[in-house]
Structure 1
Amino acid sequence: MEFTYSQVESLNETETYVYNYVVKNTKKVLNESIRELANNTHVSTATVMRFCKKMGCEGFTELKYRLKEIEEVQETDQEEKNDFYDYIEYIKSKEYLDSIKKTADIIKRSDLFVMLGFGIHSDFANHAARSFCRSGYYCYAIDNDCYPVVEVAEKQNPVIVIVYEKSQEKNLFEIMHQYKSCHYTIIMIANENIGVLSNLCDDVIYVSKGDVRMGQVVSSVPFLYAIERIIYELTK
């Protein structure tokens, strides 16, 4: 629960003792009885009851229930923040930055540049291809498995960047095999271990260590940032 200005303003001196204690020791209060709270704040149980009523609660039990609700919300918020904090630390790592730079170097040397994404990543593949085009590196997107492999001369350097999608793993393996047989350099971007597919890749960019979530929402930021970071390396 959140205390309002008008509620706190209505407290007398002894009730303010209770307020300060509750704010500073919320988790402890959740496990205390009304008498223990009164003893710890050096006031009577009647004062604690008046405090509860001024905070909009019928009694001490309701106060603890509402305190628990807000505590759970704060813990969830902290977990979500930690998810992004871990991601931010990861993208500063040498492992991540080296894989980005390697990919940028491969693209710079390429004669043909393709971006492939199936399923939930089909729109992302199109977005990424447009972003590369705007930065001066022509790229076309493949968003389904009906496209034929564009064959190139033996001395050319074609490259394909593939967005990993676990549900498409078998399909991706077959397609990667086709591109590998046509001498394409294969780069995979993923947010989870790609297993046996790594054997067909020349580089793998792990955009994060698993899903980055905000509550029930899985963020696309790691994939988007990886593309933006590659473009930065290409154009700096």
Structure 2
Amino acid sequence: MFTYTQVNSLNETEAHVYNYIMQNKEKVLDESIRELASNTHVSTATIVRFCKKMGCVGFLEFKYKLKDSITTEEHEEQIEESSFVDFINHIKTQEYLESVKRTAEHIKQADSFYTLGLGGHEAYAKHMARSFSHIGYHCFGITDRYYPMPHVLEGQSSVIIMVYDKLIEKFLFDEIRKYKEKNYTIIMISSEDIGVMKHLCDEVIYVSNGYVKTDDICSGIPMIYTMEKIMRELLK
């Protein structure tokens, strides 16, 4: 509702009013200008001056804007809560649970095990590798498209888990082709539909039914949860 420039223009007394309003938004909607002035121990003139610095003609317009701000925040909270509820429901589905179990079986039978994370997923690939190695399944995290990977020898099995990102889809197609040619078992984990690419992978785990967001930030919880879910299957 308030911009940095507006808040930065407040003097100490007006900043006190600002803090009170931020902590009592619903209450302020029902207060008169005199009640707000009394509760913040300032004059009504200070309240009017504060409202003007916030881009409003007076206190009445300020309350309208405050109401709109509260409504927007409540709507965003509902969307955020809904995405987490969808995630909880998704991880209970048979499709999700079976894909996790199949992935664990691939890893158990593998002679070697890798993770691949490109772009913004490099840290996650390294984290996965360390976590799997910690429970006894030695894993190497790859973050370089040009890393020289050996061919999988006949009679052996090697698994690589890739993290999907639509922004680097072309690169992932190239990586799938490269690892397929070297006989790797490819497991893709994703928060969104990967389209025709799913036919090129040996297993696909959809960690959630669409991105789980907190404000404009995509939550990493589904990815972390799925990694830990696979680890639990490996330890059974």
State whether TM-score is above 0.5. yes
For structure 2, the 5+ residue unaligned runs are 1-24, 38-46, 48-57
Deviation (angstroms), 1:163: 0.8
Deviation (angstroms), 1:52: 6.3
Mapped contact 1:3–1:55 kept (Cα < 8 A): no
Following the alignment from structure 2 to structure 1, what is the Cα–Cα distance between the partners of residues 68 and 170?
A: 47
Deviation (angstroms), 1:168: 2.1
Q: Output the amino acid matched with 1:122.
A: E
Following the alignment from structure 2 to structure 1, what is the Cα–Cα distance between the partners of residues 181 and 163?
A: 19
1:3 aligns with 2:27: yes
Seen in structure 2, the aligned counterparts of structure 1 residues 170 and 65 have a Cα distance that, compared at 3 Å, is: closer
1:212 aligns with 2:212: yes
Deviation (angstroms), 1:61: 5.4
Following the alignment from structure 1 to structure 2, what is the Cα–Cα distance between the partners of residues 182 and 188?
A: 17
1:66 aligns with 2:66: yes
Mapped contact 1:149–1:178 kept (Cα < 8 A): no
User: Superposition RMSD on alpha carbons, in Å?
Assistant: 2.2
* Structure 2 residue corresponding to 1:54, chosen from 26, 35, 55: 35
Following the alignment from structure 1 to structure 2, what is the Cα–Cα distance between the partners of residues 60 and 167?
A: 46
Match of 2:192 in 1: 192
Seen in structure 2, the aligned counterparts of structure 1 residues 59 and 126 have a Cα distance that, compared at 3 Å, is: closer
Q: Secondary structure at the match of 1:209?
A: coil
* Higher Cα Rg, which structure: 1
- C-alpha offsets along residues 117-170 of structure 1, whole Å, 9 cap, x if unaligned? 111111111110000000110000110111122223200111111111222222
Following the alignment from structure 1 to structure 2, what is the Cα–Cα distance between the partners of residues 61 and 182?
A: 67
Following the alignment from structure 1 to structure 2, what is the Cα–Cα distance between the partners of residues 131 and 73?
A: 37
Seen in structure 2, the aligned counterparts of structure 1 residues 129 and 54 have a Cα distance that, compared at 3 Å, is: same
For structure 1, the 5+ residue unaligned runs are 5-18, 23-49
Following the alignment from structure 2 to structure 1, what is the Cα–Cα distance between the partners of residues 148 and 61?
A: 68
- C-alpha offsets along residues 30-78 of structure 1, whole Å, 9 cap, x if unaligned? xxxxxxxxxxxxxxxxxxxx85643568766554443332222222212
Seen in structure 2, the aligned counterparts of structure 1 residues 93 and 53 have a Cα distance that, compared at 3 Å, is: farther
Following the alignment from structure 1 to structure 2, what is the Cα–Cα distance between the partners of residues 153 and 77?
A: 52
Q: Please report the TM-score for the alignment, with normalisation by the length of structure 1.
A: 0.74
Mapped contact 1:112–1:139 kept (Cα < 8 A): yes
Match of 1:129 in 2: 129
Match of 1:202 in 2: 202
Q: Secondary structure at the match of 2:222?
A: helix
Aligned residues: 193
Mapped contact 1:53–1:59 kept (Cα < 8 A): no
Q: Please report the TM-score for the alignment, with normalisation by the length of structure 2.
A: 0.74
Q: Percent identity?
A: 40
Equivalence map 1:121-200=2 (5 Å) = 121-200=121-200
Match of 1:119 in 2: 119
Following the alignment from structure 2 to structure 1, what is the Cα–Cα distance between the partners of residues 34 and 71?
A: 20
Q: Secondary structure at the match of 2:122?
A: helix
Deviation (angstroms), 1:217: 1.0
Equivalence map 1:70-85=2 (5 Å) = 70-85=70-85
